[in-house]
């Protein structure tokens, strides 16, 4: 059966590698807004475009919008019976007055989450090392009509994080703490300075523990709170050439699971994990690079605002963990079935990419100090061409069909020998 699983994994990774080569990056950032033709502006008619047989496009006849439901068609929703149920049903409304702390809020998913919570009317406490970048994010959020407190903080400093929590409670409470800080160092293990390995662990693991150690006492005192840990795909699928990053993310997942178990008797305190796939943020450009080559990430790369929307939904309806992006689910499943094979093939693909990538100078990136330019939300990593994610899903199905056939033949041969 191990050969069958190996065959399936190889097939899936080959298809992903083909997609990687066929759909190159052109660095075209997206605005994160839906196309104009996808929005029903008039609430009466909306345009639909169809493709001719020869590949051209032509406008089709306008399609009437769905008829509005009549009052007699509407059924009343059940009224929640207990206090816990009422809290859950009212959580979305409560975000308007919720106090949300976000660490790593100066760019990327942190900035996108700040803007998303601001649109809901939440009061924000923004933290990161770069004070100037935080002020720019705060200005945008204030223009959305919310209150913002800026607290420059290095999460590797436990005392500084405690001070962050104290300042956040000036709003009277803390409802959500989004622990989002993360750094990376890419390079062969022996080529990466030990100080870089230590700083990745200190930031990605100890930094999140510092966040929790400051937030959880507040939650226990007020008897409610949501702690959201940004982990990543690397929390369940190891990443060759980023060994410390893998160690930090695996460790963070274990920490989160253990803390969740300790707080199981507190029904209104939630420890939530987010496992996104590759996001289009400045993170790759900001990270430490000891490969001597220009770094990028394989497609599909998702809009960071998609992760932000998922985080807001998690604050509205807490659950233990969520993934963002189909690739995260596929990678998790394939790695579960054949972890060693998957990791070896990933290492081979990464090594091949690095041999062909343009040369670049080694850099400590943002490991030891904030980046010179925060970079905003987008990293310019998404391709303007649509990536057929469904093809990857189909590869998984076909791969396991092949595995089943191989396994079936193995059983037949084995039984034949026994007879």
The residues annotated with a catalytic role in the active site are: 245
d(CA 308, CA 324): 10
Block residue for tokens 């989002």? 180
Show the tokens assigned to 146.
């919310």
> How far apart are the C-alpha atoms of 242 and 196, rounded to whole Å?
11
Nearest C-alpha neighbor of 235 from the set 251, 259, 211: 251
Q: Which 3-state string (H, E, C) describes 44-88? A: CEECCEEECCCCCEEECCCEECCCCCCHHHCCCCCCCCCHHHHHH
Axis-axis angle for helices 304-316, 108-119 (nearest 10): 50
State the Cα–Cα distance between residues 375 and 373, nearest whole angstrom.
Answer: 5
The span from the CA of 10 to the CA of 253, in Å, is 27
Cβ distance 394 to 18 under 8 Å?
A: no
Contact in structure between 255 and 205 (CB atoms under 8 Å)? yes
User: And the tokens for 25?
Assistant: 């990056």
Taking every pair of Cα atoms in the chain, the longest distance, rounded to a whole number of angstroms, is 78
Taking the mean position of all CA atoms in its chain, how far away is CA 138?
22
Contact by Cβ (8 Å): 194, 238: no
DSSP string across 354-393: HHHSPB---B-TTSSS--SS---S--S---SSPP-HHHHH
What sign results for the dihedral spanned by CA atoms 352, 355, 358, 360? positive
* Token pair of 301 as six digits: 């790369």
* Segments in 106-206 forming alpha helices (H): 108-119, 131-143, 158-168, 194-201
In angstroms, rounded to a whole number, what is the distance separating the alpha carbons of residues 363 and 76?
60
Which run of H or E residues covers position 31? none
- The candidate with the shortest Cα–Cα distance to 208, out of 220, 218, 200, is 200
DSSP string spanning 228-263? EEE--GGGTS--TT-HHHHHHHHHHHHHHHHHHHHT
């Amino acid at each position: 059966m191990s050969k069958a699983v190996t065959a399936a994994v190889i097939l899936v990774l080959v298809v992903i590698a083909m997609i990687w080569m066929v759909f190159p990056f052109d660095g075209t950032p997206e605005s994160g807004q839906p196309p104009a033709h996808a929005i029903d502006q008039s609430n009466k008619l909306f345009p639909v475009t169809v493709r001719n047989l020869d590949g051209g496009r032509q406008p089709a006849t306008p399609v009437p919008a769905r008829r509005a439901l009549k009052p007699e068609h509407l059924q009343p929703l059940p009224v929640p019976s207990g206090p816990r149920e009422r809290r859950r049903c009212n959580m979305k409304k409560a975000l308007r007055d919720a106090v949300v702390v976000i660490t790593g809020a100066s760019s990327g998913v942190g900035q996108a989450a700040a803007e998303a919570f601001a649109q809901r009317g939440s009061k924000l406490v923004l933290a990161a090392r770069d004070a100037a970048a935080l002020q720019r994010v705060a200005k945008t959020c204030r223009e959305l009509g919310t209150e913002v407190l800026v607290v420059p903080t290095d999460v590797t400093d436990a005392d500084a994080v405690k001070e962050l929590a104290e300042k956040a409670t000036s709003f009277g409470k803390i409802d959500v703490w989004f622990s989002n800080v993360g750094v990376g160092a890419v390079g062969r293990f022996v080529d990466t300075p030990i100080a870089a390995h230590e700083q990745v662990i200190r930031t990605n693991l100890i930094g999140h523990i510092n966040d929790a150690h400051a937030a959880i006492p507040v939650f226990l005192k007020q008897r409610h709170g949501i702690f959201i840990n940004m982990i990543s795909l690397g929390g369940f699928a190891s990443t060759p050439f980023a060994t410390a990053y893998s160690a930090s993310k695996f460790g963070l997942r274990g920490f989160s699971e253990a803390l969740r178990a300790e707080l199981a008797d507190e029904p209104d305190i939630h420890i939530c994990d987010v496992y996104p796939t590759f996001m289009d943020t400045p993170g790759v450009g900001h990270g430490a690079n000891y490969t001597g080559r220009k770094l990028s990430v394989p497609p599909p790369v998702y809009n960071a605002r998609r992760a932000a929307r998922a985080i807001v939904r998690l604050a509205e309806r807490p659950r233990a963990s969520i993934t963002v992006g189909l690739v995260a689910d596929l990678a998790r499943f394939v790695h579960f079935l054949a972890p060693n094979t998957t990791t070896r093939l990933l290492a081979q693909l990464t090594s091949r990419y690095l041999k062909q990538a343009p040369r670049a100078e080694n850099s400590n990136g943002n490991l030891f100090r904030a980046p010179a330019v925060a970079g905003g939300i987008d990293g310019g990593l998404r391709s303007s061409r649509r990536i057929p994610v469904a093809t990857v899903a189909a590869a998984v199905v076909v791969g396991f069909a092949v595995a089943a056939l191989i396994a079936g033949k193995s059983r037949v041969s084995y039984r034949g020998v026994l007879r």
